[in-house]
Structure 1
Amino acid sequence: MKFTAKHDLEAPVEGVFARCSDFAAIERAALERGVEVTRRSVLTQPGAQLGWDVRVKLRGRARDLQVELVGCDAPDSVIYVIEGAGVRSEVVTEFVSLARNRTRIHVAIDTRPKTMGGRLLIQSLKLAKGSLNRKLKKRLSDFGLRLEEEVEQV
C-alpha cells in the first residue's frame, strides 16, 4: 500500500534538507506530540547505525516501532524503514530544487505486511486510504509552512 504527498515551499533546498535531517529536532517534535522515542545509538549524524525505538498510539492502541535511517543523500533524499505491528514501511523523502529559493518535498510511504495481523492492518488502512492521504497532505503542508518560517529566520 502506497501513500504519497508533495508540497512546494519558498526556501532553498539546502536549508530544507538541513531542517529535515536535524534528527535531534525531529526527536523533540515527536516527544512534544506524546510519542515515546529512544535513540538506539549515540550517533548524531547520519550513519549505518542511526535508529530509534518508538512507542506511538496508532488506531487506538499503543504500538512499538523500530525506525532505521537507511539512506541520507544530502541534499536530495532521506530514507527510513519502519518496522512493527506486523508491517514494514519504507518512507522516502525527496527534496527537489525548483529554483534558487523554491523546493519541492515529495514523501512516498510504501507499507507491506509481514504477518497475518499485518495483512489485517493493511486491509483496514485500505478502507481509510482517502482520509489517510488527505491527512498526510495536510501534515506535509503544515510542516512546509513551519519549515519556511524556520528557514527565513536563519
Structure 2
Amino acid sequence: MKFSTKEDVEVPIDAAFAMMCDFEGFERAAMRRGAEVQRTDTKTVPGVGMGWRAAFNLRGKRRQVDLEMISFDKPEEMVIECRSQGLLCLMTLELAALSKNRTRIMLTFDIKPLNLSARLLVQSLKLAKTTLTKKFKLRVAEFAKDLETRYKPGQV
C-alpha cells in the first residue's frame, strides 16, 4: 500500500535538504508526543547507516519500530526503511529544484505486510485509504509551510 504527495516550497534545495536532515529535531518532536527514541548508530554526519529504535503507543498497544537510512544522496534523496512487527515501510523523500529559490518535495510511504496479521492490518488501512491519504497530505503540507517559515535567506 502506497501513500505519496508532493509540495512546492519557497526554499532553495540545499536549505530544504539541510532542514530535512535535522534528525535531532525530529527525535525531540517524537519524544514530545510520548515516543521513546534511541539512536542505534554512532554516526556524526547524516548518511547511510543511521539508525533509530522508537517505541510508542498506538491504538492501546505498545509498538516498536526500527528505522535505518538505506539511501542518502544529498541534496536530492533519502530513503529510510522502517521495520515493525510484521510490517516493512519504505519512506522515500525526494527533492527537486524548480528554480534557485523553489523546491519540490515528494514524499512516499510504501507499506508492505510481512505476515498474516500485518496483512490484515494493511487490508483495514486500505478501507480507510481516502481518509488516511487526506491526513497524510495535510500533514506534509503543514510540514512544508513550517519549512518556509523556518527558512532564513542565506542559510544552508
TM-score (norm 1): 0.94
Secondary structure of residue in 2 paired with 1:152: coil
Whole-Å Cα distance in 2 between the matches of residues 100 and 49 of structure 1?
A: 31
Whole-Å Cα distance in 2 between the matches of residues 2 and 15 of structure 1?
A: 28
Mapped pair 1:120 → 2:116? no
Q: More displaced, 76-85 or 36-45? A: 36-45
Gaps of 5+ in 1: none
AA partner of residue 110 (structure 1): D
* Superposition map of 1:64-79 within 5 A: 64-79=64-79
Q: Paired residue for 1:3?
A: 3
Q: Paired residue for 1:91?
A: 91
Q: Paired residue for 1:148?
A: 148
- In the alignment, is the contact (CA less than 8 A) between 1:13 and 1:75 conserved in 2? yes
AA partner of residue 56 (structure 2): V
Secondary structure of residue in 2 paired with 1:88: strand
Secondary structure of residue in 1 paired with 2:83: strand
Secondary structure of residue in 2 paired with 1:44: coil
Structure 1's 49 and 124: CA in aligned 2 closer, same or farther, altered over 3 A?
same
Gaps of 5+ in 2: none
AA partner of residue 92 (structure 1): T
Q: Percent identity, aligned pairs only?
A: 38
Whole-Å Cα distance in 2 between the matches of residues 74 and 47 of structure 1?
A: 9
1:102-147: per-residue Cα shift (whole Å, max 9, x none)? 1111011111110111101111111111111111111111111111
* Superposition map of 1:50-69 within 5 A: 50-69=50-69
TM-score (norm 2): 0.93
Q: Aligned pairs, how many? A: 154
Q: More displaced, 24-33 or 80-89? A: 24-33
- In the alignment, is the contact (CA less than 8 A) between 2:66 and 2:82 conserved in 1? yes
Q: More displaced, 106-115 or 31-40? A: 31-40
Q: Paired residue for 2:36?
A: 36
Secondary structure of residue in 1 paired with 2:152: helix
Whole-Å Cα distance in 1 between the matches of residues 94 and 125 of structure 2?
A: 24
- In the alignment, is the contact (CA less than 8 A) between 1:48 and 1:70 conserved in 2? yes
- In the alignment, is the contact (CA less than 8 A) between 1:77 and 1:95 conserved in 2? yes
- In the alignment, is the contact (CA less than 8 A) between 2:48 and 2:72 conserved in 1? no
RMSD: 1.4
